[in-house]
Amino acid sequence: MRAPRDPLLLFVVFFAGASVMSTEMGASRLLAPFFGTSLLIWAALIGLVLIYLTVGYTIGGRLADRYPTHEALYRLTAWAGFTIVLIPIVAQPLLSWSSQGFARLSQNIFLGSLFSILLLFAIPLTLLGTVSPWAVRLRVQDVSGAGNAAGSVYALSTVGSIVGTFLPVLFLQPEIGTRASIWVFGILLLSLSLVGLLRAVGRRAVPYAAMLGLAVLLVVFFNGGGIRSAEAGNRLLYEDESAYNYIQVTEDTQGTRRLILNEGQATHSVYNPDYMLTGGPWDYFLLAPLFRPEGLEKPVENVLLIGLAAGTVSNQYSAVYPRAKMDGVEIDGQIVEVGRRYFEMNKPQLQAHVQDGRSFVLQTEERYDVVGIDAYRQPYIPFHLATKEFFESVREKLRPGGVVVINTGRTPGDYRLPRAMGSTMGAVFPSVFFVDTDQYYNTLVFATSEPMTVEQFRANAAKADDPRLRAVIELAYESGNLQAFEPNQAAFTDDLAPIERVIDQIILDYVQEEPREDGRDQNG
């Protein structure tokens, strides 16, 4: 015999399932600005969520047999909703702690804060895991209907999970932000639980009404301010979350604006109306035309920039190579708008495309003199923009003598990432060169569609008369930074491209060991 149907119970099951996935999706967004979105982070997040749910299923089944009442279940889901509300609030100081670890290069602080945040989700997700077995127990009194009851409960919970996956990603997070999207589901679950308790126990549910009031007050109180404030001395001009990134624009006392994405430890674009050169890796993209056999004797007419960001490189190319038409590809349309608003990314030579870089390469009919790639999602290069197959597609889009350049990160003495990218590009292009930046831990990797030498580059560079270009040239080779590279390892492929593991190892080794003083010998 089946227990009487309780529509409210089904709503609770639905919103419990939705809350599981909305909390998981929100967790990924909370972690991304500080820990990235690598496979390791996703594996840790998904794995721990599954562990918490497994524990919840086990506990829920046992408690349901001991306390087979709606009141007991609604008390539990009320606490689940309340602890969901607490997640963004408690996470904020832990995330600030992680920033200190990153800044101090402290592995213990960095990893400790990561696991503290992951453990933060243990209570609400374990409580949510108890809901489905408990609901089955409440709906079934005779084993003859157990299968149908269990199937309907788990189906409804799964539908809720589907809603909890897509609603935050497609609507809530872009419109109201990560924290608010988590709070929406926590408040809804707590509210439904309160309604159930009022029906079940009447006035004895008053403490849970106070819990709901406290949750609302906490949301109102902690709803101001951003996830990460601007550094001391900088003015925060813009802050928002897009479908892909947490975006900040800051301005220092010299009027220099910086685009900061996600982790906040790296700058993705720089703009100052009084200075075109930045001193950073963007300047070195200007060297690419000098790696063509004809150098500057052949005009630069068509340029593709993958990872446009807010347009630092495109602004530099429009100044130094004014004849060049540029296609700039940026996957985040909101960043394009930020570039136009705050970084003067409005040059007539530039056409911005909101699209994935690889799909654009496959679809475009254009041919380019230069293809520049700077598509970091810090600190990772998307693997599909770092494989042999990708660079084969890029080579097909180059004009005769065309050049491709990619920005790679490193640490002092550790060139594993530049070597990996150089070896991959060397499997497609006849000549590969490294240029270390002067002030930053970056190496620009240049690959040419026709054989080139350092001597040919020097000859081309000697003919450059633009003072801004000459300033970058001097940094590139007068200090010995320009080197030819011979591939020395297997190329990354679409099937096997462990680029995240390489970068993770670089970071961990750097925080564990003293950096080597001279890294040039590591180029192979």
DSSP class of residue 331 equals S
Do the Cβ atoms of 377 and 262 come closer than 8 Å? yes
Same structural domain, 339 and 441: yes
Residues in the chain, total: 524
CA 405 to chain centre: 22
One domain for residues 311 and 202: no
For the sheet containing 302-306, what is the strand order? 350-354, 325-330, 302-306, 368-373, 398-409, 442-448, 431-436, 482-485
Q: Are residues 183 and 305 in the same domain?
A: no
d(CA 104, CA 100): 6
- pLDDT of amino acid 524: 34
Question: Which of 184, 206, 222 is the last residue before a domain boundary?
Answer: 222
Q: In this structure, are 352 and 426 located in the same domain?
A: yes
Q: In angstroms, rounded to a whole number, what is the distance separating the alpha carbons of residues 286 and 306?
A: 15
Of 461, 114, 109, nearest in space to 289 by CA = 461
Cβ burial, residue 335 (10 Å; 0-12/13-18/19+): buried
Q: How far apart are CA 77 and CA 191, in angstroms?
A: 10
Could you tell me the two tokens for 339?
């570039």
Q: How many domains does one find in the chain?
A: 2
Q: How far apart are the C-alpha atoms of 286 and 473, rounded to whole Å?
A: 9
Answer yes or no: do 41 and 190 share one domain. yes
415/264 Cα distance (integer angstroms) = 23
Answer yes or no: is 481 within a domain: yes
CATH number at residue 109: 1.20.1250
pLDDT the model gives residue 306:
97
CB 402 within 8 Å of CB 505: no
pLDDT in tens, 458-514: 999 999 999 999 999 998 876 667 999 999 899 999 988 887 778 777 766 665 664
* SS3 per residue for 443-470: EEEEEECCCCCHHHHHHHHHCCCCHHHH
Residue 127, φ and ψ in degrees, nearest 5: -60, -40
Query: Is residue 237 domain-resident?
Result: no
Residues 214 and 286 occupy one common structural domain:
no
Q: Are residues 34 and 163 in the same domain?
A: yes
Residues 213 and 286 in one domain: no
Q: How many CB atoms lie within 10 A of CB 106?
A: 15
Paired tokens of 64: 């349901």
What is the number of helices (H) and of strands (E) in the chain? 18, 12
Q: How many CA atoms lie within 13 A of 325 on its CB side?
A: 6
The answer to whether 321 and 298 have CB atoms below 8 angstroms apart is: no
- Strand partners of residue 257: 251, 271
Residue 61 lies in a domain: yes
d(CA 77, CA 18): 13
Q: Domain boundary at 207, 222, 237, which?
A: 222
Residues with pLDDT less than 70, the chain: 1-5, 32-40, 94-118, 141-144, 224-233, 263-265, 377-379, 478-480, 507-524
Asked if residue 464 belongs to a domain, the reply is yes
Q: Which residue in the block uniquely carries the two structure tokens 């870089």?
A: 357
State whether 375 and 492 are in the same domain: yes
pLDDT at 319: 95
- Nearest of 162, 192, 176, 164 to residue 88 by alpha carbon: 176
Same domain, residue pair 162 and 305: no
**Nearest in space to 430 (alpha carbons), one of 482, 354, 485, 478:** 485
Categorise residue 225: left if φ over 0, alpha if ψ from -120 to 50, beta otherwise.
left
| Position 262 in a domain | no
Neighbours of 373 (CB within 10 A): 27
Q: Which of 286, 268, 315, 316 is nearest to 440 (CA)?
A: 268
**Is 284 found in the same domain as 213?**
no
Specify whether the CB–CB gap between 210 and 194 falls below 8 A.
Answer: no
- DSSP H helical ranges for 321-387: 333-342, 357-363
CB atoms within 10 A of CB 361: 23
Question: Is there a domain that residue 261 lies in?
Answer: no
Residue labelled with tokens 């050049």: 403
- The structure tokens listed for 382 are 């998307």
Euclidean distance between CA atoms 503 and 410, whole angstroms: 8
Q: Of 222, 244, 267, which residue sits at a domain end? A: 222
Query: Has residue 269 been placed in a domain?
Result: no
417, 462, 470, 480 from 473: Cα distances, Å: 23, 9, 5, 11
Contacts with 510 (C-beta within 8 Å, 6 or more apart), sequence order:
105, 411, 414
CATH number at residue 405: 3.40.50.150
Please report which helix (H) or strand (E) contains residue 187, including its range.
helix 178-201
Question: Do residues 172 and 301 share a domain?
Answer: no
Asked if residue 227 lies in contact with residue 95, where contact means CB atoms within 8 angstroms, the answer is: yes
H/E stretch holding 184 reads helix 178-201
Assigned token pair, 353: 């495309």
Q: What distances in angstroms separate CA 294 from CA 288, 289, 362, 400, one per listed residue?
A: 12, 9, 27, 10
The reply to whether 348 falls in a domain is: yes
Range of the domain at 70: 7-222
For residues 488 and 475, what is the distance between their CA atoms, to the nearest angstrom? Answer: 26
